[in-house]
């Protein structure tokens, strides 16, 4: 709460002047800019037009500033507006404050330009390969001068990049959001079991029992990947992998080559399914739908290009 002290106002009456924080004791920049315009133009009306407000609003702002400071600043007459001696002194101070504010604004603009000139994105493999290219193409249309770098890895690696401040925005596929990160769901995905057409599962007439899927060695992504986390949680555990690979593309290529069944994002195998290089195998009573999330460090809500990219993913 601000304190007050008694003093004489512009009209000689006793007034209470705030003595608390600077925000209560110092006029705002708009009022100071108006006072400088009055000093330069010699007319309250002309000053009001220059700063884009009405003359009554300008008069009210000057009176409010006079009450705040406890001194008369402007003498008004039919011939125009003239600064009082106190007003001339306050104007000199105001000029320094406004110049400092202009320097502050220029510095802030430089910081925004530096932030907006680059965007560091970290994304898990499926999102990096199948969704981000379209989002980044749309971002480039909006921000052609922003240089984008993309770091692809599993969901655990994405979280580590963000927490180390090596990325401005991340995208993950896992079940949980690591501590220290905030998130929002931007899309949904379905994991499906796929095999080469020659595999016995491709000829099944009934859905595959969940127990058989869980007990069968599969071609899998590495631990820490969102796909592995979702599958492990849905089945309550997995057999030892037939092959463990670090990218969606590698897992898919192995399945196409007949190495064994795999579980992959539906986004990643559309072409292979349409050309029958892979066959989808229905599974009985297993939910493999997952949320795809944008993530960022807690307390660092996306701004600039990161905010624009986030908006595009949800459009």
Question: Which of helix, strand or coil describes residue 242?
Answer: coil
- Average pLDDT score over the chain: 88
Phi, psi for residue 34 in degrees, rounded to 5 = -65, -45
Neighbours of 255 (CB within 10 A): 27
Q: Say which residues have a Cβ less than 8 Å from residue 223's Cβ, sequence separation at least 6.
A: none
Per-residue pLDDT tens for 27-81? 899 999 999 999 999 889 999 999 999 999 999 999 999 999 999 999 887 777 8
Q: Say which residues have a Cβ less than 8 Å from residue 160's Cβ, sequence separation at least 6.
A: none
Kindly report the CATH number assigned to the domain that includes residue 61: 1.10.10.10
Local confidence band at 224 (pLDDT 50, 70, 90 cut-offs): confident
Task: Using alpha carbons only, give the angle 199, 203, 207 rounded to the nearest 5 degrees.
Answer: 110
Local confidence band at 132 (pLDDT 50, 70, 90 cut-offs): very high
User: What local confidence, expressed as pLDDT, does residue 308 receive?
Assistant: 93
Kindly report the CATH number assigned to the domain that includes residue 182: 3.40.190.290
Q: Work out the average pLDDT over 262-288.
A: 94
| Same domain? 154 vs 14 | no
User: What local confidence, expressed as pLDDT, does residue 81 receive?
Assistant: 82
| Same domain? 127 vs 94 | no
Dihedral angle computed from the Cα positions of residues 135, 138, 142 and 144, in that order, rounded to the nearest 10 degrees? 90
The residue from 91, 114, 137 where one domain ends is 114
User: What local confidence, expressed as pLDDT, does residue 21 receive?
Assistant: 75
Percent of the chain past pLDDT 70, that is, above it, reads: 91
| Same domain? 10 vs 108 | yes
Whether residue 19 has pLDDT greater than 90: no
The residue from 50, 83, 114 where one domain ends is 114
| Same domain? 130 vs 261 | yes
User: What local confidence, expressed as pLDDT, does residue 14 receive?
Assistant: 52
Q: Which residues pair with 82 in a beta bridge?
A: 75
> How many domains, the chain?
2
| Same domain? 140 vs 101 | no
Whether residue 11 has pLDDT greater than 90: no
Dihedral angle computed from the Cα positions of residues 202, 203, 204 and 207, in that order, rounded to the nearest 10 degrees? 30
User: What local confidence, expressed as pLDDT, does residue 178 receive?
Assistant: 85
Local confidence band at 15 (pLDDT 50, 70, 90 cut-offs): low
| Same domain? 79 vs 158 | no
Q: Say which residues have a Cβ less than 8 Å from residue 22's Cβ, sequence separation at least 6.
A: none
Q: Say which residues have a Cβ less than 8 Å from residue 61's Cβ, sequence separation at least 6.
A: 30, 31, 34, 53
3-state helix, strand, coil in the chain (%, to 5): 45, 25, 30
Local confidence band at 175 (pLDDT 50, 70, 90 cut-offs): confident
User: What local confidence, expressed as pLDDT, does residue 1 receive?
Assistant: 44
Number of H helices, E strands in the chain: 13, 13
DSSP state of 165: T
- How many whole angstroms separate alpha carbon 157 and alpha carbon 122? 8
Q: Say which residues have a Cβ less than 8 Å from residue 157's Cβ, sequence separation at least 6.
A: 122, 224
| Same domain? 183 vs 198 | yes
Local confidence band at 16 (pLDDT 50, 70, 90 cut-offs): low
Per-residue pLDDT tens for 232-258? 999 999 999 999 998 899 999 999 999
User: What local confidence, expressed as pLDDT, does residue 18 receive?
Assistant: 55
User: What local confidence, expressed as pLDDT, does residue 287 receive?
Assistant: 87
Q: Work out the average pLDDT over 214-228.
A: 92
User: What local confidence, expressed as pLDDT, does residue 12 receive?
Assistant: 53
User: How many Å from the N-terminal Cα to the C-terminal Cα in the chain?
Assistant: 45
Dihedral angle computed from the Cα positions of residues 131, 137, 143 and 144, in that order, rounded to the nearest 10 degrees? 150
Per-residue pLDDT tens for 82-129? 899 999 999 999 999 998 888 888 777 766 766 667 899 999 988 999
| Same domain? 249 vs 205 | yes
Q: Work out the average pLDDT over 150-177.
A: 92
User: What local confidence, expressed as pLDDT, does residue 145 receive?
Assistant: 86
Local confidence band at 25 (pLDDT 50, 70, 90 cut-offs): confident
Give the tokens for residue 88.
């001339």
Range of the domain at 57: 4-114
Kindly give the pairing relationship between strand 4-8 and strand 14-18: antiparallel
Give the tokens for residue 240.
């030892």
Q: Work out the average pLDDT over 222-228.
A: 88
User: What local confidence, expressed as pLDDT, does residue 117 receive?
Assistant: 74
| Same domain? 36 vs 97 | yes
Give the tokens for residue 132.
């981000």
Contact by Cβ (8 Å): 22, 84 = no
Q: Work out the average pLDDT over 183-201.
A: 95
The pTM for the full model equals 0.64
């Amino acid at each position: 709460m601000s304190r007050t002290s008694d003093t004489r106002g512009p009209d000689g009456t006793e007034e209470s002047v705030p003595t608390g924080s600077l925000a209560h004791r110092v006029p705002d920049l708009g009022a100071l800019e108006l006072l400088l315009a009055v000093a330069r133009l010699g007319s309250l009306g002309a000053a009001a037009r220059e700063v884009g407000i009405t003359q009554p609003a300008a008069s009210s702002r000057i009176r409010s500033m006079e009450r705040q400071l406890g001194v008369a600043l402007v003498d008004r007459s039919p011939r125009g507006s003239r600064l009082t001696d106190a007003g001339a002194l306050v104007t000199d101070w105001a000029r320094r404050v406004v110049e400092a504010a202009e320097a502050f604004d220029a510095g802030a603009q430089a910081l925004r330009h530096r932030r907006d000139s680059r965007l560091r994105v970290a994304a898990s493999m499926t999102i990096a390969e199948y969704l981000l290219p379209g989002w980044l193409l749309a971002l480039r249309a909006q921000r052609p001068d922003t240089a984008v770098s993309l770091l692809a890895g599993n969901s655990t690696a994405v979280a580590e990049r963000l927490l180390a401040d090596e990325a401005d925005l991340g995208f993950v596929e896992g079940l949980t959001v690591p501590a220290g990160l905030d998130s929002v769901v931007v899309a949904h995905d379905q994991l499906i079991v796929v095999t080469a057409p020659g595999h016995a599962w491709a000829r099944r007439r009934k859905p595959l029992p969940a127990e058989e899927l869980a007990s069968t060695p599969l071609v899998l992504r590495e631990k820490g990947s969102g796909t592995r986390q979702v599958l492990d949680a849905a089945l309550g555990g997995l057999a030892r992998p037939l092959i463990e690979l670090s990218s969606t593309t590698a897992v898919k290529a192995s399945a196409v080559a007949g190495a064994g069944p795999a579980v992959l994002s539906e986004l990643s195998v559309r072409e292979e399914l349409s050309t029958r290089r892979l066959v989808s195998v229905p599974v009985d009573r297993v939910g493999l739908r997952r949320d795809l999330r944008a993530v960022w460090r807690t307390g660092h809500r996306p701004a600039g290009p990161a905010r624009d990219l986030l908006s595009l993913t949800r459009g």
